[in-house]
Amino acid sequence: MGPLSRLVAAVLFCAALPAAAVERPVVGGDDQAAVEGAPTERLFEVFEEGVLTERDPVKAALFLASNGVHARMKAADGPRFESIFRQATEMADLNRVLTEHPNPGPMREALAARAGFDLLADTPGFLAWTKQKLPHADQKTVRAAVLEWDTLSPDLQKAIAAQGAKPEAWARQSLHARSAALAQVSAKALTEFMATVPKTPKELEALLARARKLDGILENSDRHKLWDFYNRASDAVTGLETARKLAGKNPAPAVKAALAEATKAGSLDAMLGSLGAAFDGLKPRGGAPEPEAAAAVRRAGPGTADQRFTPEQRATYTEMLKHSLIEQMKGTAAGDRLREFYKKEPFNLVVKPMEGGTMGLYSPRDNTVSVSEDLILKFVRGQGRAVGDLLQDPEIFRQVSQAVLSTVVHEGIHQEQEAWRRDRNLPHWYVVEHEVEAKSREAAFVLEKGSKDEAYAKFMADPEMQKKLSFVREASLIANELRRDPVAFGERIRTAYYPGVVSIETQARWAAQDPAWMREYQRGIAAELARREKLTPAERAALDSKTVPQPDRSVHSPSEAVALVSTFKTAELRERVRAISQYVSDKEAGRVSAASDYAAFVSRDRRTGVEVGGVLAMVTTPKRTGNLALGDRGGDGSPPPPPPVLKGRLAAPPPALAKPPLLRPDPPKRPAAALQSTLPGVPRGHEDCQNPTHGHPRSQWP
């Protein structure tokens, strides 16, 4: 009898079991028969005791794995089944969050995204449950993640106390309330940080010290802003020092004036703009290349008018890029799959400005795949070129198209996921597993194409291209990580890039939520709409024109969701009422099945691992000249051999009993899109699927 067979037998006969980390075990053979052979009422007794009463994550994992009995249990007693299912998905999800995250900041962000979880409503109770049921989780990290008072730095304690908080009251507050207090402190600190414009190496060093302190209390989206600002400030200070040395004691009047403007600039953009003008007057004669500090200033700065797209140039470039990308995808598993997909579905490529650090985006709202105009133009500026060169120079066009290729593959995979959901009439669950799938297939694509196309491999391994193009650096990094350790890859991607994106278990838990939550939210929206109906058309139009939604975030109660209804435009409120009404009706009529939807999403997640493993098994180790393993710390810098992949399948993840290594030592991280401000369980708008860079201080680049 295997370990899982013993687990099944022990549960069915009420034996005591030790707590352990169990991640979606697959029940088969005798194990499946043992569960399916038990009487339905006996299953209810065992799982109600183990999941609802004992709150045992091991038995919760066993219940979720035993999906062969779910239909029978639901048919026998739907409400009892959903109660078990809801609590089981919650515990299984928390087990993975608390096990995977090695750092308290991302763990806190992950927990805060789990809106409405019963176990998170009571912080002392949650810590007691974690200590008793999940002893493999690092309790020190968990306590820091939920912001226990003694884990806060003295400066942070002082700042929070200034808001009126006291340790005694803090101990009774939920994680949600604590996070809200922390958000006020961190927002103020980040605003002050980004208003600082260092001019000397000493001032830059002080800014770095502040950044390191702030890093631990920011969410990933703000953490990226932090390090992006610091990196640009570093470019500005280095540029100012370099320009002064090049200018000498008697600079030309224009250079002297530009340096004076840079020295007294009140904003980073103004300083970088003035430094760009200074370097224009300091260009080497005879066509010699500029110093790297000048190129860095141009990349970080705002650029000139001819370094920005006109609408006509953008449209022309997008069409050129579209045809180039489709051709470059040929001959790879992921690329050929997308080429076939785009014979049936539209390939709506868009080049547009994006939030800092975002390389690409798939938007289900308009079915578009987008790449970052900002990062493309950053490269153009750094080369001292104009947008016209991007359209007319075959070499710079080739460089950018090769760079963005894997990002477009990533976003195309998200479009394929959306079509998969649509064709199966599944809900739009934006889940971290789909981001891991996109990253996995993207990384496998880079490895496979690099093994077949030496020019592509050399381009992706070029240190200069990594430095100048975020697309190249990030794609090479994840390709290296996938080949280095495919078993741990998904865990690393979830924790390093997407801590704020919830899992399949979270979405299933929300889908099993009591409809009473949605009804209260619906009543709040109806009241707001009734209030607006009493306004004149002009007043309603004025209200809609001024309405600015709150930043996307999870909500933790119906009342909190109701408090946000005034931030939405009238048309959106009406659409939400319609969607909620339909959802409640479907749920009460039994047309919504969280368990079957959960099974479909998990099945796809498992299939991804098999398919990516098959690609890895076929990829040969690149030659030294085609090294894609850009983060390797090997003595000679050569790539490691591919990890063994048995029978074309990735090995099942081991129990997560230890903290995994990070992609880099102590890296600030960058997430994908935050959840929308809607009540858990309410049908959500189609969140955009983002492909972010891994934000970090430049000193920690591989």
What residue ranges do the domains of the chain occupy?
Answer: 20-155, 201-302, 311-501+599-674, 514-592
pLDDT above 70 coverage of the chain, percent: 81
Determine the 3-state secondary structure of 690 from DSSP: strand
The CA distance from 496 to 424, in Å, is 31
Q: Is the pLDDT of residue 329 over 80?
A: yes
Task: Using a pLDDT cut of 90, give the percent of the chain over it.
Answer: 59
pLDDT at 591: 64
The yes-or-no verdict on residue 21 having pLDDT over 70 is: no
Residue 360 has pLDDT above 80, yes or no: yes
Confidence of residue 245 (pLDDT cuts 50, 70, 90): very high
Query: What pLDDT shows up at residue 240?
Result: 95
Q: Distance between CA atoms of 123 and 146, rounded to whole angstroms?
A: 8
Inter-residue contact 506 to 93 (CB < 8 Å): yes
In 556-593, alpha helices (H)? 558-563, 570-588
Residue pair 675/561 in contact by the 8 Å Cβ criterion: no
A 10 A CB-CB count for 635 gives 6
pLDDT greater at residue 289 or residue 335: 335
Higher pLDDT, 219 or 592: 219
CA-to-CA distance for 501 and 233, rounded, in angstroms? 30
Q: Is the pLDDT score of 228 beyond 50?
A: yes
Q: Which residue has the higher pLDDT, 354 or 691?
A: 354
Helix (H) / strand (E) element for 691: namely strand 689-692
Asked if 466 and 630 count as a contact pair (C-beta separation under 8 A), the reply is yes
CB contact set of 674 (below 8 Å; sequence gap of 6+):
221, 500, 551, 552, 553
What confidence score (pLDDT) does residue 223 get?
A: 86
Q: What is the pLDDT of residues 54-94, one digit of tens each?
A: 999 999 998 998 888 999 999 999 889 999 999 999 999 99
Find tokens 């975002």 and name the residue: 358
Interval 169-201: pLDDT, tens: 999 998 888 988 999 999 999 999 999 999 999
The answer on pLDDT for 656 being more than 70 is no
Residue type, 513: Q
pLDDT at 519: 83
Higher pLDDT, 221 or 242: 242
Instruction: Write out the DSSP string of 311-378.
Output: HHHHHHHHHHHHHHHHHHTTTSHHHHHHHHHTTTS---EEEE--STTEEEEEETTTTEEEEEHHHHHH
pLDDT value, residue 691: 64
What pLDDT sits at residue 679?
A: 36
The whole-number average pLDDT for the span 616-627 is: 56
Measured CA to CA, the distance from residue 544 to residue 174 in angstroms comes to 34
Which residues is 361 bridged to in the sheet? 370, 690
CA gap 493, 497 in Å, rounded: 6
* Band (548; pLDDT cuts 50, 70, 90): low
**pLDDT tens digits along 390-432:** 999 999 999 999 999 999 999 999 999 999 999 998 988 999 9
Distance CA 483, CA 659 (A): 20
Taking each helix axis from N to C terminus, what angle separates 220-247 and 268-280, rounded to the nearest 10 degrees? Answer: 30
16, pLDDT greater than 90:
no
Name the residue type at position 561.
A
- Residues 185 and 175: their CA atoms lie apart, in Å, by 15
- Residue 615's nearest CA partner among 245, 200, 336 is 336
Least confident of 22-31, 497-506, 525-534: 22-31
End-to-end CA separation in angstroms for the chain: 47
Find where tokens 């998990």 sit: 602
Q: pLDDT value at position 365?
A: 83
Across 632-661, average pLDDT: 28
Assign residue 659 a region: left if phi > 0, alpha if psi is -120 to 50, beta otherwise?
beta
Residue 689, beta-bridge partner list: 362
Q: 360: alpha, beta or left, given left = phi > 0 and alpha = psi -120 to 50?
A: beta
